[in-house]
Structure 1
Amino acid sequence: MAKTGITLTRRGLGAMLAVGLLAGGLAGCGNSDTGGDSDSGSSGGNSKLVIGFSQVGAESGWRTANTNSIKEAATTAGYELKFDDAQGKQENQIKAIRNFIQQKVDVIAFSPVVESGWDTVLKEAKDAKIPVILTDRAVDSADKSLYKTFIGSDFVKEGKLAGEWLVKEKSAATGPVNIVELQGTTGAAPANDRKKGFAEAIAANPNLKVVASQSGDFTRAGGKQVMEQFLRANPKIDVLFAHNDDMGLGALEAITAAGKTPGKDITIITVDAVKDGMQALADGKFNFIAECSPLLGPQLMDLAKKVKAGEEVPARVETEETTFTQEQAKTALPNRKY
């Protein structure tokens, strides 16, 4: 009896080992190397769309709202989002894109820190047959086949809208109107384009002169620091054009500390229309805002689905935006989502 018992035990162990090996083989086929669930796109062979998204960072209220919109839209659509924060550094973003390629995601989307220097990594994505979508910011690659589409704003138009409002506002000026400009991150598409659009618009009035222009890196701290420098170097400043609300809000602190009244002593024009900026406009501290909507998430998810399916999409998808004066800001604020 004891001998039979030993034989049965060995058979049982053999069966258990066989089951264990089979289960291990199945698990190895189904799971991705990144620790995600087995229901993932290219990496798992199933139907869930997997999107790798690299964000510029979290430098402003606009950027935070943009990130939240994309994350919420991915959840609503039932897609897997592999999110990366580049912390404002191009090298981090290139590394993230290469990681997405290695993970064999279905679609790569990113908001480029700067315009230049992307051709090599985008060629790698193209060779891996992973479509790329640019969000919010463009790149200056001559080879347009390196990405499928761009979704975002017309930054040149935003700069023009700001300049055109100023031309009308100062139409009665008989002498020089001194303007200081808080630029966004050096080399970034919105900084380049908003500067260009604004300059083209104010050229209609020779009295409007930009006497100082410097990057505040799209941050409140940068806006405050650079505005302090502007105020020390330029005794007469009539207008501030800030490339985003956050820099304008930082500049408010510097202007107030210098004993001047923002919105009255210095006319302030910004871009974005986030809640804090809209509140400053409603309070009369800002004078005009050109909107730049961060709520790109739902449109991005729709485009990702289409490019993965091989459908034709427009080369450029622009968001619908407007402008705000003080009274318009007061009306819009109660229902503002960002």
Structure 2
Amino acid sequence: MSETGNGRKNWTRVVAAVGLVFLAVAGGIVLANANKVINKTEKKDEETPLISIGFSQVGAESEWRTGNSISIKTTFSQKRGYDLIFKDAQQQQEQQIKAIRGFIQQDVNYIVLAPVVETGWDTVLKEAKKAKIPVIIADRQVKVKDDSLYTTWVGADFYQEGQKACSWMEQYAERNKKKTLNIVHIMGTEGATAQIGRTKALEEAAKKNGWNILEQQTGAFTQAKSHEVMEEYLKKYKDIDMVYCENDSEALGAINAIEQAGKKVGTDGIQIISFDATREGLAEVQNGKIAVDVECNPDFGKKIEKIIKQLEYKRDVNKEYYIGDKIYTQNKSISTIEIEKAKWSVTVVTDKIVKERVY
């Protein structure tokens, strides 16, 4: 073979060797850069710890409460940057106080309390304040001597909800030329903010319009207890016009009891007034069994998250935040609700509304 041929072979080998060296170096640089990115990401994760939140839920007594719990759990997930400690108190204040003390021991960043009743919180909230943990009250309110024991409250205007229902009742009585209404009242858990507000509205409207509240008993916001109460009412009273229930679970219990007694529910029978506007409740509005259902929106998660973000940035927050609601009926026979010159349009329940309701 000629010297030229040997030279070409040697040159080819040199080029190949250089190429391999280049690829090795380039690969090393890429790998090094990739490791830097990974290290930076890990470092960033280490520098941004999860925000810890202790949530004391009153229980799971209704579909509304289930929807409220879902809203909290969905909003404060680990993927969204939170470490949520969720405690179900099963309607017991002692369990809620125990949970709050546990949150304090775990040194959470925030405590959210959905209280079973309004009173009896001063001592444990003082402990939270001493530990410098902000407390957000959700849904029902608390009555404390020092309102600096909690940071803010998020919930509905239960008294106004009751006023809306009573405004519908007033118009119903007027349209049907009824001089009075005979009403049996199934109250919520006594001492709960929703019960206090909705009961107050009914009692004021009854006094103003000359309605007869035949009897008042608690249904504890549950279907089973309300079924029992309604059975008792039906045995005692033969001329009931309306049942004022303080949530949909109570309304469902009352409806079952009335129908099992062989009586009619709806426009040609006993009228049911309700609150919350859950999927089951709205379905019964559409069926004509619930006359009016005043919504109480359980989707508190996003509102509470906004408050927490404001607190994280050391910004001031309001002492109260109200969640909006609607008024649902089967038809537009009564289309507008008016309270002290403020007006709300009534929403007719459709298949779409029922289907899209997540709680």
- Alignment of 1:335 with 2:356, yes or no, is yes
Partner of 2:28: none
- Distance, in Å, in 2 between the alignment partners of 1:82 and 1:91 is 18
Opposite residue 170 of structure 1, the aligned amino acid is A
SS state at 1:203 partner: helix
Partner of 2:53: 51
Opposite residue 333 of structure 1, the aligned amino acid is V
Partner of 1:102: 105
- Alignment of 1:61 with 2:63, yes or no, is yes
Where do residues 6-21 of structure 1 align in structure 2 (5 Å cutoff)? none
Partner of 2:321: 317
**Offset, 1:198:** 2.2
**Offset, 1:306:** 2.2
- What TM-score comes out, normalization by structure 1 length? 0.84
**Offset, 1:203:** 3.4
SS state at 1:299 partner: helix
Alpha carbons 1:167, 1:202 under 8 Å: kept: no
Partner of 1:271: 275
- Distance, in Å, in 2 between the alignment partners of 1:175 and 1:298 is 45
Alpha carbons 1:137, 1:190 under 8 Å: kept: yes
**Offset, 1:59:** 0.4
Opposite residue 146 of structure 1, the aligned amino acid is L
Partner of 1:282: 286
Partner of 2:186: 182
Question: Residues 330 and 204 of structure 1: is their aligned pair in 2 closer, same or farther, counting only changes over 3 Å?
Answer: farther
- Distance, in Å, in 2 between the alignment partners of 1:329 and 1:78 is 37
- Alignment of 1:90 with 2:96, yes or no, is no
Question: Residues 64 and 174 of structure 1: is their aligned pair in 2 closer, same or farther, counting only changes over 3 Å?
Answer: closer
**Offset, 1:174:** 4.4
- Distance, in Å, in 2 between the alignment partners of 1:46 and 1:174 is 64
**Offset, 1:45:** 9.0
Partner of 1:120: 123
Question: Residues 190 and 45 of structure 1: is their aligned pair in 2 closer, same or farther, counting only changes over 3 Å?
Answer: farther
Partner of 1:31: none
- Distance, in Å, in 2 between the alignment partners of 1:281 and 1:155 is 20
**Offset, 1:335:** 2.4
- Distance, in Å, in 2 between the alignment partners of 1:51 and 1:241 is 37
Partner of 1:5: none
Partner of 2:299: 295
- Distance, in Å, in 1 between the alignment partners of 2:140 and 2:178 is 38
Partner of 1:144: 147
**Offset, 1:308:** 4.1
Alpha carbons 1:245, 1:274 under 8 Å: kept: yes
Query: Structure 2, unaligned stretches of length 5 or more?
Result: 1-42, 332-347
Opposite residue 334 of structure 1, the aligned amino acid is K
- Distance, in Å, in 1 between the alignment partners of 2:116 and 2:167 is 28
- What TM-score comes out, normalization by structure 2 length? 0.79
User: Which stretch of structure 1 is more off in the superposition, 111-120 or 175-184?
Assistant: 175-184
SS state at 1:51 partner: strand
CA RMSD of aligned residues (A): 1.8
SS state at 2:265 partner: coil
- Alignment of 1:134 with 2:137, yes or no, is yes
Partner of 2:253: 250
Question: How many matched pairs?
Answer: 296
Partner of 2:241: 238
- Distance, in Å, in 1 between the alignment partners of 2:88 and 2:193 is 18
Partner of 2:84: 81
Alpha carbons 2:242, 2:271 under 8 Å: kept: yes
Partner of 2:22: none
Q: 1:200-234 deviations in whole A, cap 9, x for unaligned?
A: 2343321x211111100000101101111111111
Partner of 2:204: 200
- Distance, in Å, in 2 between the alignment partners of 1:109 and 1:316 is 14
**Offset, 1:259:** 1.0
Opposite residue 350 of structure 2, the aligned amino acid is K
**Offset, 1:77:** 2.8
Runs of 4+ in structure 1 off by over 6 angstroms are none
Q: 1:94-145 deviations in whole A, cap 9, x for unaligned?
A: 0000000000000000100000000000000000000000001101113110
Alpha carbons 2:118, 2:193 under 8 Å: kept: yes
User: Which stretch of structure 1 is more off in the superposition, 139-148 or 63-72?
Assistant: 139-148
Alpha carbons 2:206, 2:213 under 8 Å: kept: no
**Offset, 1:304:** 2.1
**Offset, 1:303:** 1.3
Q: Highest CA radius of gyration, 1 or 2? A: 2
SS state at 2:53 partner: strand
Question: Residues 326 and 173 of structure 1: is their aligned pair in 2 closer, same or farther, counting only changes over 3 Å?
Answer: same
Alpha carbons 2:180, 2:209 under 8 Å: kept: no
Identity %: 42
- Alignment of 1:213 with 2:233, yes or no, is no
**Offset, 1:275:** 0.2
